[in-house]
Amino acid sequence: MALGIAPGNGQRDYRIALRIQDPMPERSQPVEQVRQHVRGELDERFIGSVRALAPTPPQPWYQQRQRPLRLGVSVGHIAVTAGTLGGFVRRHGEATVYLLSNNHVLAAANRAAPGDAILQPGASCQMITSLTSCMQCHCSNKQTR
C-alpha cells in the first residue's frame, strides 16, 4: 500500500492517492481507516506488483561530459544533434585556442551566426563556448568521376 497525492476534479483540486499492490490488503484495517478518514476524497487504484527497472547502460566516454575537452568527444551547435570534435587550433599569431570540426557540426550547415552556443556533449544544455567564425561551404550535387 502506498499513499500520495492525485489530481482531483478541477484546477487546484487534489485527492489522496491510495495505490495497492496486493489485492488482499484491499480489505485490510489500514486501508479501511484511510477510506474513512478521507471522506470520499480518495483516488484508489489496484496497481499490481512494482519492480525496479533495469539500469540504463552507461554512455560511451565520447558522449559523456568531458573536462578538459578531448579530441573525439561529442560537440555540436545548439541547433544540431551532435558531431565530433576534430581538433584544437590557433590562428597565426594568436594565443586563443579554437575548436575545429565540420561545418555541419559547429556552424549548422552555414545557418549559424557568431555568438551561437556550442555544446558538449552535443545535443545537451552544457555550453562550452560560442561560435567565433566558420568557413562557408558551397556544396554541389554534381558527382565527379
What are the residue ranges spanned by the domains of the chain? 2-46, 61-127
| 8 A C-beta contact, residue 62 and residue 73 | yes
- Average pLDDT estimate for 22-48: 78
Q: What is the mean pLDDT of the chain?
A: 83
The number of residues making up the chain comes to 145
Q: How does pLDDT run across 42-98, given as a tens digit for each residue?
A: 888 888 887 878 888 888 988 888 989 999 999 999 888 789 999 999 989 999 999
Which among 128, 84, 132 is positioned nearest to 104, based on CA atoms? 84
Which among 97, 90, 86 is positioned nearest to 129, based on CA atoms? 97
Question: Which pLDDT score is estimated for 138?
Answer: 66
* DSSP notation for 92-127: TT----EEE--HHHHSTTTT--TT-EEESSTTSS-E
pLDDT cut 70: percent of the chain above it? 90
Question: Which pLDDT score is estimated for 84?
Answer: 92
Confidence of residue 145 (pLDDT cuts 50, 70, 90): very low
Question: Which pLDDT score is estimated for 73?
Answer: 93
Does residue 144 register a pLDDT over 50?
no
Name the grid cell of 141: 550535387
CA distance 145 to 130: 38
